[in-house]
């Protein structure tokens, strides 16, 4: 099939991976490469306000976890901070500036943690 006519979206499955032609949520080629690149053994905690109307969130990157394990860790971090949050693209977002609490919690759980972004 010529590259100009490849499938990029299907009404049944949504977005399609350009490499393996599987739905993005079931793509095996991307998930392996993303986890291996982002998980260097160091968890980076930063604060960001970009795109959030001035509201700050604490970002936790580089965990190298997927699915239920990532959701469980995010829930524990949110409970520790007493705040809401979410998981987007393997990054845990906790509402508010809780970098110190998150770093302390992750260090207590045995993670190697760095403060990123100042």
Total number of domains constituting the chain: 2
Structural domain including 95 reads: 39-118
Q: Would you state the pLDDT for residue 50?
A: 84
The verdict on 17 and 57 lying in the same domain is no
* Residue 19: pLDDT over 80: no
Give the domain CATH number at 53.
Answer: 3.30.780.10
The answer to whether 58 and 93 have CB atoms below 8 angstroms apart is: yes
Question: What whole-number distance in Å separates Cα of residue 99 and Cα of residue 116?
Answer: 10
| Percent of the chain residues topping a pLDDT of 70 | 77
State the alpha helices, DSSP H only, in the chain.
28-38, 67-81, 99-108
- When pLDDT is cut at 50, 70 and 90, the band that residue 104 belongs to is very high
Q: Would you state the pLDDT for residue 36?
A: 41
The distance from CA 58 to its chain's CA centroid, rounded to whole angstroms, is: 12
Q: Does residue 69 sit in helix, strand or coil?
A: helix
The verdict on 31 and 52 lying in the same domain is no
Q: Would you state the pLDDT for residue 21?
A: 72
pTM (predicted TM-score): 0.65
């Amino acid at each position: 099939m010529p590259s100009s006519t490849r499938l990029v979206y299907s009404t049944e499955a949504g977005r399609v991976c350009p490499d393996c032609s599987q739905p993005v949520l079931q793509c095996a080629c991307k998930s392996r490469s993303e986890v291996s690149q982002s998980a260097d053994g160091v968890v980076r905690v930063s604060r960001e306000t970009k795109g959030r109307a001035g509201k700050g969130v604490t970002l936790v990157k580089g965990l190298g976890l997927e699915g239920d394990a990532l959701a469980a860790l995010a829930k524990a971090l949110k409970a520790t901070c007493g705040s809401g949050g979410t998981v987007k693209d393997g990054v845990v977002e906790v509402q508010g500036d809780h970098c110190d609490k998150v770093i302390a919690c992750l260090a207590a759980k045995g993670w190697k943690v760095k403060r990123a972004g100042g």
